[in-house]
Chain A
């Protein structure tokens, strides 16, 4: 059974960089799409972007200038970097796998439990 778990600082100062890691157990990043999604009371669920197993990335245009999603060489972890954070980036951050089935339908099946990141001085 695959499991995903987010880790990283729970508090980041304004203007600094938010860095989170998602550890994948029971599988690897050798296939599928690996996503970051966040949730805050003010903006609901927001897709941040994904890393395809080939190394291709796709980001939400609203965050694209500040976001990087990358893969660890072990291919069991992927990371999120969000630069120049403000209070508006305070949210619960989730990592999730997006997969395609044999019929060509996509779905987000495995999610981490989420980690709260607060931006405050």
Chain B
């Protein structure tokens, strides 16, 4: 199975900050890499798919980039509702695998 790592595992930031979360895969996943936001007690919500495609309805302050085995999620200006946990997911190889998550907290 493809192993996924995310860094940092947690992050404290302030409203208005620019933050970047990194996801690394143990082997290439082509463009089959997505990012999901999860708030406590809720299901994950799709933000970015295909490395950089913004899901309909998701604010443009979210963006994704990367290639090969290294990918990033950037939030350009944090809003109060962005404090949550973020996961990357690869669905290029079976079994599909998720990153361990990055918890974004208010400073």
A45 within 8 A of B: yes
CB distance from B43 to the nearest CB of A (A): 4
Interface size on B, residues (CB 8 A): 24
In the complex, A12→B32 CA distance in Å? 35
Chain B residues, CB < 8 A from A59: 95
- A70–B1 alpha-carbon span in the complex (Å): 24
Which residue of chain B has its CB nearest to the CB of A50? Answer: B96
Cβ-based interface call for B55 (8 A): yes
Segment of A15-23, A24-32, A75-83, A109-117 in the binding face: A109-117
**A46 contacts chain B at the CB level, 8 A cutoff:** yes
Residue of A nearest to B41 (CB): A114
Cross-chain contact B50 with A105 (CB below 8 angstroms): yes
Contact residues on A (Cβ < 8 Å of other chain), bracket: 20 to 34
**Chain B min CB distance to A82 (Å):** 15
Do most interface residues of chain A lie in helix, strand or loop, or is the interface mixed? strand
9 example contacts (A-B, Cβ-Cβ < 8 A) are as follows A60-B96, A101-B50, A105-B49, A107-B55, A108-B36, A108-B46, A108-B89, A111-B45, A113-B42
Residues in A neighbouring B87, C-beta threshold 8 A: 44-45
From 65 to 99 in chain B, residues with beta carbon under 8 angstroms from any chain A beta carbon are 87, 89, 91, 94-98
**Cβ contact within 8 Å between B49 and A58:** no
Say whether A53 faces chain B, with CB atoms less than 8 Å apart: no
Could you say which residues of chain B place their CB within 8 Å of the CB of A45? 44, 87, 89, 98, 101
List A contacts of B89 (CB < 8 A). 45, 108
